[in-house]
Amino acid sequence: MQNGVPTAVPCIASLTSVPRLGDLVLRDKNHDCEGFGVHHICVRVEAVAHLPTRFGRFEVVAFWNNRDGKEHLALVHGNVLGADNVMTRLHSECLTGDALGSLRCDCRDQLAVALERLSSEPAGVLLYMRQEGRGIGLLNKIRAYALQDQGLDTVDANLALGFHDDERDYAVAAHMLASLTVRSIRLLTNNPKKVAALEAHDIRVTGRIPHVIPANEHNRFYLQTKANRSGHLMEIPPAPTVSEQDDPVLVGEADALAGG
Ligand SMILES: [Zn+2]
Ligand SMILES: [Zn+2]
């Protein structure tokens, strides 16, 4: 200990390579490092299992961490152990969008398109981060929705509840990628700030791939409304909020305009 900062072995040194994903559980059994970032975040791989999905075949890797009591996941496609340039997507949990199909946001489309994209790559990872409502939690997200129903926009609603617009921290995600022994990533995002946030935690980002959401018959109205908030599409409930993924959506233009 020096000035309150642990001087233990750097995390990376203890995150040795393993031949198979399932071996990470044994490797991490007693893992305890100095941690990532100012909060000394440490994570451990606790369980690994097959997860065939409608988007393709994945392995699901479940993590424990010392910070937030949440159980974050990695969905891994192909062999990412020790790999370079692994296509990677960070997704923040959105119960209302991901599971319930809410149209107040576009999280579910972002998730589906990312998983389809990753499963078409030789190797890819989606980190499913349990940071609901941009980190403010589900209950507060619904409180913010209620304020938005009364006319506040998404940013003002969060501020009214005493939160910053974005309460997320990328140290957990960075340690998860290090735990998977991914050597470098190509990040699927429209948000350069995410790249910088990961690089600040020593994750090598070799490229950024735009995350373009093609319009389809199910979301075309929503995406058009998002593009044009003039309110003439009366079928749509009050204007959708900005993305909870903090990742401005790029809509495939030809598709979005077709058939409108
Ligand atoms: Zn650690
Ligand atoms: Zn959402």
CATH number, domain containing residue 206: 3.40.50.10990
Q: Is residue 137 part of a domain?
A: no
Indicate the range of 65-69, 165-169, 180-184, 213-217 predicted with least confidence. Answer: 165-169
Q: Is residue 87 part of a domain?
A: yes
CA of 214 to the centre of ligand 2 (A): 17
Phi, psi for 12 (deg, rounded to 5): -55, -35
**Which ligand has an atom closest to residue 28 CA?**
1
Identified catalytic residue from 32, 166, 186, 255: 166
Q: Is residue 5 part of a domain?
A: no
What average pLDDT does this structure show over 138-145?
Answer: 90
Predicted pLDDT of residue 222? 60
CA of 243 to the centre of ligand 2 (A): 7
Residue 165 annotated as catalytic: no
Q: Is residue 1 part of a domain?
A: no
Q: In terms of residue numbers, what domain contains 56?
A: 11-131+168-259
Percent of the chain having pLDDT more than 70? 79
Higher pLDDT, 2 or 187: 187
**Which ligand has an atom closest to residue 246 CA?**
2
Q: Is residue 150 part of a domain?
A: no
CA of 18 to the centre of ligand 2 (A): 35
Which pTM was predicted? 0.84
Residue-averaged pLDDT of the chain: 84
Q: Is residue 191 part of a domain?
A: yes
* pLDDT for residue 147 is more than 60: yes
Residue 220 annotated as catalytic: no
Q: What are the residues whose beta carbon lies below 5 Å from ligand 2 (ion)? A: 94, 97, 105, 107, 244
211 CB neighbour count, 10 Å cutoff = 20
- Alpha carbon dihedral 229, 233, 235, 240, in 10-degree steps, equals -10
How far is CA 187 from each of CA 211, 224, 226, rounded to the nearest angstrom? 9, 26, 24
Domain count across the chain: 1
**Residues 86-101: pLDDT tens digits?**
999 999 999 999 999 9
Q: Is residue 18 part of a domain?
A: yes
- Say what angle helices 192-199 and 171-179 make with each other, to 10 degrees: 70
How far is CA 157 from each of CA 137, 141, 184, 245, rounded to the nearest angstrom? 14, 9, 37, 17
Q: Is residue 151 part of a domain?
A: no
CA of 248 to the centre of ligand 2 (A): 12
CA of 260 to the centre of ligand 2 (A): 24
Q: Tell me the C-alpha distance between 190 and 205, whole Å.
A: 14
